[in-house]
Amino acid sequence: MIDDTAEKTAKSFGAWAMPDEYRELQATVRRFVQSDIKAVEDTLPHDATYCPSDKLKPLQDKAKSLGLWCVRTPAEFGGAGLNLLGQAVFAEEAKQVRMGLYNPAMGAFGIDPPNVIWEGNRQQIEKYGLPGVDKGSKCFVAISESSGGADPGRAIQLKAEQVGNKYILNGSKMWITGADKADWGIVYARTGGRGRSGITSFIVDRDTPGLTVKEIPVIRAYSPFELHFDNVEIPIENRLGEEGQGFALAEKWLVDNRISYSAGTLGVASAALDIAIAWAKERETFGSKLADKQAVQWMLADSDMELRAARLIVYDAAWKGDLGEDFKLEASIAKVTATETAGRIVDRAIQIMGGLGLSKELPLERWYRELRIHRIGEGPSEVHRMVVARNLLSGRR
């Protein structure tokens, strides 16, 4: 028999459930995505990376009416102001479409400026941040370089030298998403010695003389870019924060972003599992449904169990971040667990579907390609495992 204390503890754990406001958010996004957004996406080519403006604008107008515009942007700047848990719930639903891992719902919910722009001064916010919310101006974030992206504190070699009231940038960046269509970007460069304290962030207009962009074709439908800086002059008022604060800003961007990044992959995994379940119940081979075969049942069961566990890990990381606690470790665990889980689930779905799973009649093969990149983007799995191991071995478990 459970004593009073144990019973209260059990009830407190048993009572953990998604709060009503998040369930309402989940249901609203799901209805909008599955009825309105998916209908438009189904008219576009398999590897489409954008939606024509005449089809996109009605979706954006509806998203605004639902209060789902730029969900990661603080309300004071015109966004929905969702906290991290809200962002996770949103991302899982919004990305359950074919091009979901590229751009949530084709940009129907707007494109959030990088969160660190709100750390800037009023002039920077008004010139760069607010147009992103109000007019849809696009931005890139440039951290990685050819010397490596997983350890930016040491790998950043792009040099920024102050000359009078401006900085001169020389060097290059690699694997930068969206740089071709961006209006501006946040670029991290070295202003001091080796290590994290020598990094500073800058706001760079895309059309600044000396900045060139080169496409890097990769496995997925859309390409990242290489940026070259040849004596690129940046006015001192475009420095974001003080000198030496760049790494802290980069970390804020990366850690926060890992929540929606991870949750989005689980949305794709959930959609893939639904496709596999429906096919298994319909397809007949060797005189019975696929759903009757133990091998298929176990693949479906493993996928569901892993998805449930990964979702709780992501939610736990988001919850801790919303409490104002240090959640870098939890964000790393969430990123590895979610991206690797999603990859396995989509792989199993393709296996269950057989040849059809490899075809472009379904979104599975596109998701498979894009999820492979997600095990590297936002920090490769091995680096995040190193973070976890370092915490264990230092006694901070």
Please determine, for residue 204, whether its predicted confidence score (pLDDT) is greater than 70. yes
pLDDT for res 148:
66
Where do the H-state alpha helices sit in 175-242?
A: none
Please determine, for residue 255, whether its predicted confidence score (pLDDT) is greater than 60. yes
Please determine, for residue 266, whether its predicted confidence score (pLDDT) is greater than 90. yes
Half-sphere exposure of 199 (CA within 13 A, CB side): 23
Options 237, 325, 378, 382, the catalytic residue? 378
The CA-based dihedral angle spanning residues 101, 71, 252, 104, taken in that order and rounded to the nearest 10 degrees: 10
Q: At residue 109, what is the residue type?
A: F
The pLDDT tens digits for 142-161 are: 999 987 656 666 789 999 99
Q: Which fold has domain 139-240?
A: Butyryl-CoA Dehydrogenase, subunit A; domain 2 (2.40.110)
How buried is 301 (Cβ within 10 angstroms: 0-12 exposed, 13-18 middle, 19+ buried)? exposed
The two beta strands, 184-190 and 199-205, are: antiparallel
Please determine, for residue 328, whether its predicted confidence score (pLDDT) is greater than 50. yes
Residue 163 gets the label, from left (phi > 0), alpha (psi -120 to 50) or beta, of: beta
Assign 3-class secondary structure to 155-176: HCCCEEEEECCEEEEEEEEEEE
pLDDT mean over 115-133: 96
How is residue 285 annotated by DSSP?
E
**Percentage of residues in the chain with pLDDT exceeding 90?**
84
pLDDT mean over 276-288: 95
pLDDT for res 16:
61
**Percentage of residues in the chain with pLDDT exceeding 70?**
94
Annotation marks residue 251 as catalytic: no
pLDDT mean over 43-72: 94
Please work out, in degrees rounded to the nearest 5, the angle formed at the alpha carbon of residue 301 by the alpha carbons of 283 and 261. 105
Please determine, for residue 15, whether its predicted confidence score (pLDDT) is greater than 60. no
Please determine, for residue 82, whether its predicted confidence score (pLDDT) is greater than 50. yes
pLDDT mean over 243-261: 93
Q: 104 versus 391: which is more confidently predicted?
A: 391
Residue whose entry in the numeric block shows the structure tokens 């204390």: 5
Q: 367 versus 221: which is more confidently predicted?
A: 367
CA–centroid distance for 185 within its chain: 17
Reported CATH class of domain 248-393:
mainly alpha
Q: At residue 120, what is the residue type?
A: G
pLDDT for res 12:
42
**Structural contact between residues 367 and 272, judged by C-beta atoms closer than 8 angstroms:** yes
pLDDT for res 138:
92
Residue whose entry in the numeric block shows the structure tokens 């990964």: 310
Q: With both helix axes pointing from N to C terminus, report the angle between 328-353 and 294-322 in degrees, rounded to the nearest 10.
A: 160
Among 13-27, 266-280, 301-315, which is the least confidently predicted range?
13-27
Q: Which long-range contacts (CB under 8 A, 24 or more apart) does 120-127 make?
A: 120/203, 120/240, 120/241, 123/237, 124/203, 124/237, 124/238, 124/240, 125/77
The mean predicted confidence, pLDDT, of the chain is 92
pTM (predicted TM-score)? 0.92
- What are the tokens at 342? 């999603």
Please determine, for residue 186, whether its predicted confidence score (pLDDT) is greater than 60. yes
Q: 87 versus 17: which is more confidently predicted?
A: 87
Phi and psi of 380, rounded to 5°?
Answer: -65, 155
Please determine, for residue 31, whether its predicted confidence score (pLDDT) is greater than 90. yes
The pLDDT tens digits for 337-346 are: 999 999 999 9
Q: Which CATH number fits domain 16-134: 1.20.120.530, 2.20.140.10, 1.10.540.10, 3.40.640.10?
A: 1.10.540.10
pLDDT for res 372:
96
* Topology alike, domains 16-134 and 139-240: no
Return the domain boundaries, the chain: 16-134, 139-240, 248-393
pLDDT-based confidence at residue 9 (cuts at 50, 70, 90): very low
